[in-house]
Amino acid sequence: MMRARWFMAAAAGLWLAAVAQDGVTGWIARTDLPPLALETSVEVVARDGSLLRAYTVADGRWRMAVTPGAVDAGYLAMLVNYEDKRFRRHPGIDLRAMARAVGQAVWNGRVISGGSTLTMQVARLLEESGTGKVAGKLRQMRVALALERRLGKDEILSLYLLLAPFGGNLEGVRAASIAYFGKEPGRLTPAEAALLVAIPQSPEGRRPDR
């Protein structure tokens, strides 16, 4: 009798877990994603491919096309290590990082670190939403999960490299590297890479032209 009850309880638990999983999967699948095809600056290049001139996009921002392969490997390593160590392993949200952030906030009485993944930051940048509201954070989590279902990790990283704020009307690591250092982001010094990792945390406060 006890074995039968245990079997029935286990079967009911598995059924409820399956129903919950199907519900979450459907919730993610119904997510309305923001446009993923973004306007980038028109560029005039020389015969050798070097940049001669670039134009802002329609809203007046410098947003220059870039891919991870065109960015210094040291910068990419610093970025992932600083922002999202488990970027390649999580499904869009990092429950361990969130638990750590909540525990630190409770212990210290203030926010010490955030739990946002790079994918969640991309979700926020795509929708130009805030970071502090609970509803906004939940929306970022939902969009992040949906993005991970549609895009590969390198595609998500490309969106971050294109959209990260670097002060003023500069968006993306390539526009920032050219504006601040006068060169493409393919070969950055460790100091330059570290600065470009840090600026998006406080774009106006850390921009080097001030």
Q: Please tell me whether residues 76 and 144 are part of one structural domain.
A: yes
Question: What's the rounded Cα separation, in Å, for the pair 41 and 63?
Answer: 6
Q: CA of 190: how far to CAs of 55, 70, 81, 184, in Å?
A: 29, 16, 14, 15
Asked if residue 199 lies in contact with residue 167, where contact means CB atoms within 8 angstroms, the answer is: yes
Residue-by-residue pLDDT tens, the chain, 210 positions: 566 556 555 555 554 544 445 556 776 877 888 889 999 999 999 999 899 999 999 999 999 999 999 999 999 999 999 999 999 999 999 888 666 756 655 566 655 556 789 999 999 999 987 666 777 888 999 999 999 999 999 999 999 999 999 999 999 999 999 999 999 999 999 999 999 999 999 999 999 888
Query: Tokens in use for 58?
Result: 């329609």
Using CA atoms, how far apart are residues 16 and 178, in angstroms rounded to an integer?
54
pTM for the whole thing?
0.83
**Integer CA distances (angstroms), 101 to 111, 117, 185, in order:** 7, 12, 31
Residue 2 is part of which domain span? 1-30
d(CA 150, CA 88): 15
CATH code, domain carrying 171: 1.10.3810.10
Q: Are residues 121 and 24 in the same domain?
A: no
Q: How far apart are CA 156 and CA 148, in angstroms?
A: 8
Indicate the number of domains in the chain. Answer: 2
Question: By the 8 A CB rule, do 161 and 113 touch?
Answer: no
